Structure 1
């Protein structure tokens, strides 16, 4: 059981990184001190900090670092950033030489890989002393646990939800989706599509998203993968899921050819569809793509598979981790605490990294209307939030993309459900046994 008070030890790029990291120290996270660590405020320390992003995010990090160095004048922080693909290419090279930055931004698709290769520091001894856990819920702290060891602390969160377009719905004279089962949602989409007369549809084929399959499995008490990284669903489960979309693919959702014509935008942010299941932090991108005529969106919970089920969870938009080889673990933990928990961090970053995971950072953040809507949404689904699933297996990104591609083919009608299931399980076998 995870306890936030414990202080004892307790895509192609993904595949390529796994091959390199296989040669690193294996098994478990980096060693941590046996005693409860404390930080010497007089020790002169220099830390390297790395994160992904653009110039805007870099400017925000520089401001937070300046605030940190003002509070801890004996610690100097040297920061660097790259775009997401380049960032992980560089980390891969550093990992091979066991030379990762003292503090680094990590992503859920890489956390298990780096943790199990002994590259990340066990943070459990620092929780509750150097790293304040009071502002972080157990659900949030549990996100960064790999094999019962905390190796990442979320900076921000998002959750699976459903955006709807109230302006389009008003134009069609159809009420917004009021919640209900997946069958209720399909019936609502059909009503919208009928009112749209061949130019507006009720939604897109949500069965092409692995996350919608995941929450349906979680409603049965089953994550997609076990803690050991083994599949926790059967071919029959996936067959039933994809077959549940057969009726909506027949004229209810946006035709796949139409989606191909507007790509890389989706049916939702081109005003072709009135709803879309996705991560809640996609709202600002949707509004930007829809243009000035659209000033608001509705954000509601996904359809219910089983009443009372803990099917939803908070996902880390980003985490911070510490290198197992850092020479200054206490100072690094002090920096991580500041980046995640400090009011200065919340005030400066706002929602640039997502909705702040820390209550103290969130309280200090100036939320725009959409960000406040997302924060309110995550609070509204508290009764459906369960523990975070096990940290994704190495290669999960490859499987997620394969799932999406098969969904496209199903919507085109160029593949049967049985063929799609067979292909997915074949791909999963390759990923799990590489």
Structure 2
């Protein structure tokens, strides 16, 4: 059951249930296209709202909901939360049974699946009236659009970046990476590894992450997948990318066996590599894992594939969405607006959900040094920011994991690049045509 203003950790839904989401939606939640939606301040409404997270995030949500209910006394919000895997197991069970929460914290990788199966409310009728759009740049609003319908609004953003560890670099006596091409970055990693003498490495094989392949493809003006969900790269493209990592796998990068031994930490937050390419909101977690004596990290733009290319983009670290079956779409849209745009939300959440996407929320947020660094970083890469790619295809998470697993096999030397390419394209064909 839901408990008002006290989010609880629910029991995970039974795993392994085969769920078919198509045709589970419907209902009368959509607003009339001929009417401007408005909230009736006298109608007593109860909304169910769900999110993934932990006790810290739950407490923040409770504070925000308290502020929301003070401003909208006719609306009561019941909240619940789970860890990330259990959260999506429960959503899939609810989707099959037609009982999604009114408002949901949402992940980008599931947006197309739920949107195309009619499970999420089209928020277009609420934009500009109930949901304020002035504080949200158009490229942020566009992130939540699937097939011309706005089915989610980003709460926060992140971007791909390069973290470096100034303390480790001082230890080995190597200057920070000053930017340049991917080849320049590999040369810099080699310099760090040589100076580290087997205890500190320059970095990890970057060709093990599909995001680095994406950055290089976008530099050529090509997203990984088209709007229609078709691959936008060839076997030749992928082979050339994985071949870039051969020198790194041959001794420049941290050995794959060492990475296995230090899991769940990466080489970077285990203090064994001086750099890591990843999403910029990982900084706080890195510092926490590195522990005492580490007070700062450097954050710079990824290597350049082609000068002037719009190869980077802002990605939503999470979004808010509304069930297509909600009986109270105006109230649900009002809650979404408050969670994203209100100063109260910005002040209370800070950067717990990522750097606030809304200008009003961001202005109210008290940014700690690492959050301020992320804000400054995203401002510094404006010239490299292009439009976000199409919403991830159904099964993108599976492909991302397969890419990572193949990268690990390449690191161990148990598979050739040609076989790696064949494996990935075979998996991709299965995912797209399932």
CA drift at 1:230: 1.1
Question: 2:45 matched to which residue of 1?
Answer: 45
Number of residue pairs matched by the alignment? 419
**Residue aligned with 1:295, SS:** coil
CA drift at 1:25: 4.6
Residues 268-324 of structure 1: CA distance to partner in whole angstroms, max 9, x if unpaired?
A: 111211000011111111111111121110001000111111111111111000111
CA drift at 1:138: 1.4
Q: TM-score, normalised by structure 1?
A: 0.94
Distance 1:184 1:147 in 2: 40
Counterpart contact for 1:113–1:394, Cα < 8 Å? yes
User: In the alignment, is residue 309 of structure 1 matched against residue 313 of structure 2?
Assistant: no
Distance 1:246 1:92 in 2: 41
Residues 25-62 of structure 1: CA distance to partner in whole angstroms, max 9, x if unpaired?
A: 59xx9744202212222222111111111111111111
Counterpart contact for 1:155–1:340, Cα < 8 Å? yes
CA drift at 1:98: 1.7
Residues 206-255 of structure 1: CA distance to partner in whole angstroms, max 9, x if unpaired?
A: 10000000011111111111111111111111001001111221110001
Question: 1:242 matched to which residue of 2?
Answer: 242
Q: For structure 1, which runs of at least 5 residues remain unmatched after alignment?
A: 1-12
Distance 1:276 1:108 in 2: 23
**Residue aligned with 1:105, SS:** strand
Question: 1:33 matched to which residue of 2?
Answer: 32
CA drift at 1:22: 3.0
Counterpart contact for 1:18–1:394, Cα < 8 Å? no
CA drift at 1:140: 1.0
Question: 2:403 matched to which residue of 1?
Answer: 403
Question: Aligned Cα RMSD in Å?
Answer: 1.7
**Residue aligned with 2:427, SS:** helix
Q: For structure 2, which runs of at least 5 residues remain unmatched after alignment?
A: 1-12
**Residue aligned with 1:249, SS:** helix
Counterpart contact for 1:30–1:118, Cα < 8 Å? no
Question: 1:10 matched to which residue of 2?
Answer: none
Question: 2:359 matched to which residue of 1?
Answer: 359
Question: 2:8 matched to which residue of 1?
Answer: none
Q: TM-score, normalised by structure 2?
A: 0.94
Question: 2:92 matched to which residue of 1?
Answer: 92
Question: 2:117 matched to which residue of 1?
Answer: 117
Distance 2:178 2:169 in 1: 13
Question: 1:337 matched to which residue of 2?
Answer: 337
Residues 83-141 of structure 1: CA distance to partner in whole angstroms, max 9, x if unpaired?
A: 11111111111111222111111101111110000010111111111111111111211
The answer to which of 41-50 and 402-411 deviates more is 41-50
Question: 1:283 matched to which residue of 2?
Answer: 283
Counterpart contact for 2:313–2:385, Cα < 8 Å? yes
Distance 1:52 1:25 in 2: 22
CA drift at 1:17: 8.0
Question: 2:6 matched to which residue of 1?
Answer: none
Question: 2:128 matched to which residue of 1?
Answer: 128
Question: 1:181 matched to which residue of 2?
Answer: 181
Distance 1:32 1:227 in 2: 27
Counterpart contact for 1:32–1:121, Cα < 8 Å? no
Distance 1:240 1:33 in 2: 51
User: In the alignment, is residue 394 of structure 1 matched against residue 399 of structure 2?
Assistant: no
Question: 2:142 matched to which residue of 1?
Answer: 142
